[in-house]
Amino acid sequence: MFKKIFLILFLPLFLFSCEELNNVSEELKVLKENQDLLLKQQSDLIKQIASLQTAVKNQGSKAQPKKNNKKRKTPNPNISHNIPIGNSVVLGNPNAKVTVTKFTDFQWPYCARSVDLIDNLLKKYPNDVKVVIKNFPLSSHKQARLAAQYALAAARQFKCGESKSESCYKDVYHKIFEDYRSLKSDPDLPVKIAAELGLDTEQLIADANAPEISQLIDTEFAQLTALRNAYPETDEYAAGVRMAVPKFFINGREPLGRDVNSFSAMIDEEIKK
C-alpha cells in the first residue's frame, strides 16, 4: 500500500525533474556552442585589427620621403653668369672693375648679417669694387617686398647722410636691417625710418608705389630664378644656383665662402685679369 502511494506521489515529480534536467542540458549545450562561436569571431577580429595596423604602418613608411643622404654639391665658381646691373642700386665706385652682386630679402636674418660683409668690402676696395643690390623677397616674408619698394624709393632722394651726392638708399637699407624683425608687425617701419633721416615721406610713399619700382623688383627676382639650372651638374658641382638669399656673385661668379677673406681671394683674381 505504501509503495503504491509513493509511486502515485513521487513518480510524476521524478519524471518532471528528469525532463527539466534534459532541458537544462540542451540549453547549456547551446550556450557552449554560442560561446565557441563568439570566441572564434573575437579571434578573427583580433587578426583583422593586427592586419590593418600592419598595413597602416607599412603605408605610412612608404608615404615618407626618402632621406637624401647625398652631400649638397657646391656652386661652380668657374662659371661666370651674366647678371645685368640694369636699374638696380649701385653702392661704391660705379666705374669699379669688380662687381659684387647681392640678392637680398629685408626680412631674412641671414641677409641682415651680411650687411657688414658688404660694408667691409667697400672699405677694403674703395676703388676696385662696386656692390649691386638686387631684391629677392621670399613669398614667406610678407613685408619684404614692401620694404624693398620703400628702400628703392629712398634711392630717389638725396637729403640724408653726410654726403648730398649719394642717394638715401644706403642709410634706409642699413636702418631697416637694424630693426628688420619689427617689419612683421610694422610694415610701415621704413617710412618712420625715412622721417627720422629727414626724407620727404610723402614723396617716398608715392615713389614706393610707382609701377617702375615694382617692375624693377620683378626683374631682379627673375634674374636669380633664371639661374636655377644654369649649368650641367657634375660630381663636384651642383646643377644650378641654389634659390636662397643672401646670394652673392663676384663678376658673375659664385664665391664658395661668405666672409671677407673668401670674397677677397676671388676679387683679387678678378682685379688681376
User: Residue 41: its pLDDT value, please?
Assistant: 67
Which regions in the chain score pLDDT beneath 70? 1-41, 57, 59-72, 161-165
Task: Report CA dihedral (23, 29, 30, 35) to the nearest 10 degrees.
Answer: 150
What is the pTM (predicted TM-score) of this model? 0.72
